Amino acid sequence: MRPIVVIGSSNTDMVVGAEKIPVTGQTVLGGAFKMVQGGKGANQAVAAAKLGGNVYLIAKLGEDVFGEKSLVHFRKTGVKTEFVSRDTRNSSGVALICVDKNGQNIIIVAPGANGDLSKKDVLKAGSIIAKASCVVLQLEIPMKTVEFSIRLANKLKIPVILNPAPAKKIPNSILKLVDIINPNETETEIITGIKLKNEKDYKEAAAILRKKGVKTAIITLGSKGVYVDSTEFRGLVPAFKVKPVDTVAAGDAFTGGLAYGISNNMKLKEAVMFGNAVAAVSVTKAGAQTSMPRLGKVIKLINRS
């Protein structure tokens, strides 16, 4: 199986459950506290690896206990860590997360070593990138590193999946080199200026993304499903119906599942449906990387639906 190369962040998530998410200036009494591995890049790498993908992660950790725990977890889940480097100047990244009784969440990230992931770190993995089925990127690492990675993959003719989170404006000169972009509703609004209320809005926003040069636009809509605009398929792919426990990293689960589907030569619509199933299973369990499902559970959900 050709490699899936994920270039991105790795954090330790510190999660507190609460009846409701506090508003500005408010203190609420929380429930259980958990400390688990997270970060969008690491989440997506673990998601694809737990499904059985041949996954390499390019990331940077601090020389601290959080970094050690992350490395142990990556190896346990099957993520290859040859290109996960250590930073002696900065701590590992940390995310503070509050999850309410309905599974909704707010997240604050302290990037730490993620902010030092550089072009040199990416180039060290050039031989693996050249063999990849796809390169997966997010925006929790420096934008100059993201742009360099996209240009490198494009030069090597390797498909790029860009998950534009956290939401930022992205130059059209970069977007035109992206094969697949998969923003959520908030990220789509920031990139396109379209507030998503109905399928007409989904279609309009996706068309704007395509006009910016992206080959395929995939807008994730939570429980409403995913809207796809590509030369191969255009339309809404419904979500699988499950009872959510924790929506943390559902988007990362989708991205990992999508990358796995592409690496296994699935047609686009099939890969999107598969990604939907991975995300659906993930929200039935608490945590980020801990919620990423094995292949058997995903297939079981697909067969049951």
Show which residues are catalytic.
Answer: 252
Angle 224-230-234 from CA coordinates, rounded to 5°: 45
Q: Which residues contact 201 (CB under 8 A, 6 or more apart)?
A: 194, 195
Handedness of CA 191, 196, 198, 200 (dihedral sign): negative
From CA 96, how far away is CA 84, in angstroms rounded?
23
Instruction: Give the helix/strand (H/E) hosting 200.
Output: helix 199-211
Are residues 204 and 226 in contact, defined by beta-carbon separation less than 8 angstroms? Answer: no
Distance CA 284, CA 103 (A): 10
> Strand (E) positions, 30-163?
30-38, 55-62, 84-87, 93-99, 105-110, 134-137, 160-162
Residue 303's contacts (CB-CB under 8 Å, 6 or more residues apart) are none
